Structure formats: C-alpha cells, structure tokens
Amino acid sequence: MARVAVIGGGLAGLAAAAALAARGFGVTVVESRRRLGGRASSFPDPASGQLVDACQHASMGCCTNLDHFFATVGVSGLLARQPKLNFVTPDRRKSVFKADPWPAPLHLGRALLGAHYLTPAEKVRVGLGFAALLRESPDADPPLKDWLLRHHQTERTIARFWGVVLVSALNETVDRLGLKYARKVFVDGFLRHRDGFVVHLPTVPLGRLYSDELRGWFARHGVEFREGVAVRDLVSTRSGISHLTMRDGTTITADWYVLAVPFERVLDLLPGELAADPYFAGVANLEPSPITSVHLWLDRPVTPLQHAVLVDCLGHWVFNRGEVAPGEFYLQVVISATRDLSALGNDEIGSRVAAELGRLFPEMARARVLRSKVVTERTATFSAVPGVDRWRPPQGSPVPNLAVAGDWTATGWPATMEGAVRSGYLAAEAILTRAGRPERVVRPELWEARSPGEP
C-alpha cells in the first residue's frame, strides 16, 4: 500500500486525506495543533469550557466540494440551510433577501427591489453592474473599485451594496480587491443558480465538525492522526522528498507527501533550494488580511434573528447561537478586513460593537454583558488583490512526490472553505495522476452540475 503523509490538519489537508484514503492509500495526517480544522475550528472558552469558534465560518449553495466533503465524512447534518438573508441597517429596518421560484438570474430580482437601503436609482445601477459582470471575462482582474466606477456605480452603491457582500465574502476592502474573485462571488453565488447564494450555517461549534462522525469515517479508512506534532522541515533528495523531520527529532517517511499548511508557513518548511524555486517563491508575495470576531455572552436574548448582515456598521455579520448555557445567550459579531482596527485595543473594539448592537436591537439596552472576548486572526486569508493568481501555484509541485494544498493555491476560488477543500481534492488528483491512476476528484460547479432553473 502506498503511504501518504499530509502535513496540516485543516480542511485542505483533511480533504486530500479523505480523497486518497478512499482510493486505497495509507494516510497519516500530521497536525501541529492538538485539534483539527485549522482556521475553521474552535477553542474552549476558559470561563465556561464551551467550544467557541475563533471566527464563524459559513458555506453557500455554490460550495459543491465543501458540501461533498461534509457529506462524505458524515457531518452534513450539523449544518442548517438558511434560505433567506437578513440585511439590517442602524435605523433598525430589515430587508429579507430570498429567492423566488424563477430561473436565475431573475430569482433574486424582487429581493433586490425590496432592499430598503438602496434608492430606486441605485437599484438600477446595481442591476447594470450585474449585467456588466455577466459580460466580463472570468479571468479579467483589474482593480475592482475602478471597474465599478466605470460601470455606473457610485461611492454609495459601492459602500451599501457591493462592499457589504464582498468585504465579508473575500475578507478584503473594495479598494484593494481585484475584479476576478469579486465577479465570482456575485456570478456563481447570486446570478447563475437559484441555490448559489443560500447560506449553510453550522448548528454546532466548528470544532464539533471534526469530532465523532469525521474521526469515525477516517478511522474506518485507516487514516492515522498525529496531533500536537510539528514538522520542522521537509528533507529532499534528487528523487523527491525523502522524509519529514519533526521538531522532536523523529522522522516520518512516506511515498507521497501533501504540504497543506497556511501560505505564511510554506517557505519555512522547505529546504533552501526548493524555497528558491519559482514555483514556491511566489508565495512570499501573498499578503495576509486579518479578521476580527467579537464574542458576547448576554443575560437575555436581544434578537430573534439567527443571523444578520449589517449595512453601514462596524460589524459585518451577527450570528446568534441563542441560549448556550442556563441564563447565557451568545452572539458573535464578525468584522472582516480589520487592518484599520489594528491600533485599537480589544476593550475598545468590544465596547464599540456592544454599542452598535444597542443601536440595532432595542433589547440590547436592557441586556447585561456577562463576559466578552475579542479574537483577531491576523493571517486569516490571503488578500485577493488584482492579479493575485500569478502567485498561487498549482497543486502538483516540481518535486515528483510532493503536492501542495491550501486555499492559497490555484483553485479558481478565493480564500474560503470551498477553496480549501478544492485544493485538497486537486492535490489528490495530482498524486493519483503521478501514480498512474488519473481520476477526477473535484466536483463540478453548481451551475455546471444542474441547469440554472433546476431546484
């Protein structure tokens, strides 16, 4: 049996491990943390022992590979479909964004017309922007804001519509983004299929997704997990990677290797001659973008909404988990692309968010904050700047027995859970091809798999 060592137990590494184990490879996953899931996971709250997500992650209907992975390992039932999105403004008005039973792209026409935070003229402008996106080449990647301004958008439509969606989806501000992945968010998520925009939220802490069901599936397929074990470096010879050297001095040897770590760690793990190879060297040009989440435990519920997309606010999303312990009601507010908050302390960020919630939800004024926590992931995603794909390598590396995976690799997707799983499947494809067993592992896009009007 051919052996594969996967370095990294995030979604990319787990997806590669699942694809290869299901095809008869013996797989060992090495993860430096004592938990799986990477950035899409949870940590224990010291005050209560509850699992708390470092940052809430969500899937969408267009995320076909993530959906396939979750179904494969048996955790799909731990996510709930949200057929409508709630957009809330500081004046406490709400618009509901949901699809009508019409073919795409007409299915969201009434939802756009009902957006209270846009004027009628602005809705026409947004519609013209949609039409221009559909006509645009999928590979075009000029600066997004310039493109929007050239296509009838104003500073106000950019702030109140395009930015509301894109800053959350891509974890980057509109003035820094390129067109390519902004287009993908809207075309694949909103315009090509009626189910593309539907959000799927975990009903449990993210860490629970990597618990009994997932571990049971991997155990049945012979996958070994070595957690809390860090790789120091990959050792190479002329014929490829010979072994992994661990920080404790031990080694791991396999026939094939998948390097599935965050982009900022890649070059540190490679021998110098590989780190200098143009295939790997471009990774150094990727820029990180931070994300901040504010966790609040309150003495009462303040909103019946399970989630809310915030317009003209500091926060971008509110996620409501309800009563997580007797007398404790938990909210998480996610703020994306938080470079501008770096000069503020956690207490200031927390107080600003709590004050904002008081303006959004009347009951917040009567609630008592039992405790709070602010978490910032400074390297949460890569920044999807114009032309970023020139620095994203394909999964099949120049090293004969090494594949790479991670949402930062060339997936055709931005930095998302879907992109991570796609990268793992593509890394498995690269190994299968080199092993003389070529096979398609990546699932088709939603709009490729089903006709636009099909439910």
Half-sphere exposure (Cβ direction) of 22: Cα atoms closer than 13 Å: 15
Question: How many CB atoms lie under 10 A from the CB of residue 118?
Answer: 20
**Residue 142 to residue 23: CA distance in whole angstroms:** 41
**Contacts for 325 with CB less than 8 Å, ≥ 6 apart:** 48, 50
- The pTM score is 0.95
List, for residues 315-363, the tens digit of each pLDDT value: 999 999 999 999 999 999 999 999 999 889 999 999 999 999 999 999 9
Q: Decide: 382 and 415 in contact? Cβ < 8 Å.
A: yes
**Residue 169 to residue 191: CA distance in whole angstroms:** 15
**Residue 126 to residue 136: CA distance in whole angstroms:** 15
Q: Decide: 16 and 425 in contact? Cβ < 8 Å.
A: yes
Residue type, 224: E
Instruction: Write out the DSSP string of 185-214.
Output: HHIIIIIS-TTTT-EEEESS-GGGGGSHHH
Residue type, 222: G
**Residue 421 to residue 424: CA distance in whole angstroms:** 5
**Residue 299 to residue 327: CA distance in whole angstroms:** 6
Residue type, 1: M
Q: What is the pLDDT of residue 451?
A: 41
- The correct CATH number of 289-378 out of 3.40.980.10, 1.10.10.10, 3.90.660.10, 3.90.330.10 is 3.90.660.10
Give me the residue spans of the domains in the chain.
Answer: 3-35+205-286+389-449, 105-191, 289-378
Low-confidence residues of the chain, pLDDT below 50?
450-455
Residue 51 phi, psi (nearest 5): -75, 130
Q: Decide: 237 and 400 in contact? Cβ < 8 Å.
A: no
Instruction: Write out the DSSP string of 56-91.
Output: ---EETT-HHHHHHHHHHT-GGGEEEE-EEEEE-TT
Q: What helix, strand, coil percent values describe the chain, rounded to 5?
A: 35, 25, 35
| Three-class SS state of 243 | strand
| Longest alpha-carbon distance in the chain | 68
Locate 390 and state its tokens. 């020139």
Question: How many CB atoms lie under 10 A from the CB of residue 80?
Answer: 11
Do 289-378 and 3-35+205-286+389-449 fall under one CATH topology? Answer: no
DSSP state of 224: E
List, for residues 260-299, the tens digit of each pLDDT value: 999 999 999 999 899 999 999 999 999 999 999 999 999 9
- Cα-based torsion angle of the residue sequence 151, 157, 162, 164 in order, rounded to the nearest 10 degrees: 170
Question: How many CB atoms lie under 10 A from the CB of residue 373?
Answer: 17
**Residue 356 to residue 363: CA distance in whole angstroms:** 12
The answer to whether domain 3-35+205-286+389-449 has CATH 3.50.50.60 is: yes
Is 6 buried (19+), middle (13-18) or exposed (0-12) by CB count in 10 A? buried
